[in-house]
Structure 1
Amino acid sequence: MASIEVRTSGPVFDGRADRALVAYCHDASEEIAEYAETLVLSELGHVLRHPTGYYESRVETERVSTDTSRVHDSGVVYGPWLEGVGSRNSPVTRFAGYSHWRRMKQLVQGQAPAMAGRILQRHLPGMR
């Protein structure tokens, strides 16, 4: 009869890897959302012709869950009109909208993988 003894140790077994992974997911979603908010606000600074500051003040980042953040305009009633998806946009009126949310979303989606990779590098030591 043979017996085998197995000993487990290290970050996977003592919980350090799990904690580092949770911290990574939190940081990645938060930093990417904050970047998206900055881009949207910057774009609004370029496209709005008569800014009052109200719409920009309503753009915010909100944590939806542990690993998900969302950037939105707090439901400002004329937000869809500014974006160009409202019922009062072209062809009803000449204003087609700025498409600022759609364009910034595409930009962030293109840059998010590289950003997430850089953020991961900060958390890898905790997984080793």
Structure 2
Amino acid sequence: MDIEIDTNTSGPVFDGRARAAVDAFIDEAEEEIARHGVNIVRSELDHVQRNPTGYYESQIQTDRAAGDSVVTDGGVIYGPWLAGVGSRNAPETRFAGYPHWRLATQRLQAEAADIAERVLPQFIRRME
């Protein structure tokens, strides 16, 4: 007994459109999450800084490091001191640093899935 099956291998999954849409979604979701992260870091700084000059906040930005979107302070020399991880923080001085990066990380981790979910529909349409 011979069984013959014919299949149609066309559509987004087979012609590469689905894979391209998934890759584009990942890139866009990472960028959107990073942009939101910049806003969160700036917001957290607003809550903790006593005499802000505006310079440090202006350096908080997204950067595409090694293919991933990251939030950075652009390498501001006193950034580690503000974050409490510099060599001149407590016990060297009384200043222990601000928790802005830690708090921003926690908030962003809690909100990242929702942000990605909001970006997803435009990419699902590409797969239809």
**TM-score normalized by the length of structure 1:** 0.89
Residues 126 and 38 from structure 1, CA distance in 2 versus in 1: closer, same or farther, beyond 3 angstroms?
A: same
CA RMSD of aligned residues (A): 1.6
Alignment of 1:67-106 (within 5 A): 68-106=68-106
| 1:22 shift after superposition | 1.6
CA distance, structure 2, for counterparts of residue 65 and residue 83 of structure 1? 23
| 1:110 shift after superposition | 1.2
**1:83-102: per-residue Cα shift (whole Å, max 9, x none)?**
01111111221111111011
Alignment of 1:30-41 (within 5 A): 30-41=31-42
**1:45-98: per-residue Cα shift (whole Å, max 9, x none)?**
2221111122112111012355x2011011111111100111111122111111
Task: Structure 1: give runs of 5+ residues left out of the alignment.
Answer: none
The alignment covers a number of residue pairs equal to 127
Question: In the alignment, is the contact (CA less than 8 A) between 2:44 and 2:103 conserved in 1?
Answer: no
CA distance, structure 1, for counterparts of residue 3 and residue 113 of structure 2? 49
CA distance, structure 2, for counterparts of residue 81 and residue 64 of structure 1? 23
| 1:21 shift after superposition | 0.7
Which one is further off, 101-110 or 113-122?
Answer: 113-122
Work out whether 1:6 is the aligned partner of 2:42: no
Work out whether 1:110 is the aligned partner of 2:110: yes
Query: Match for residue 50 of structure 1?
Result: 51
CA distance, structure 1, for counterparts of residue 10 and residue 51 of structure 2? 62
Identical counterparts, % of pairs = 53
Query: Aligned AA for 1:107?
Result: R
Task: Structure 2: give runs of 5+ residues left out of the alignment.
Answer: none
CA distance, structure 2, for counterparts of residue 82 and residue 2 of structure 1? 72
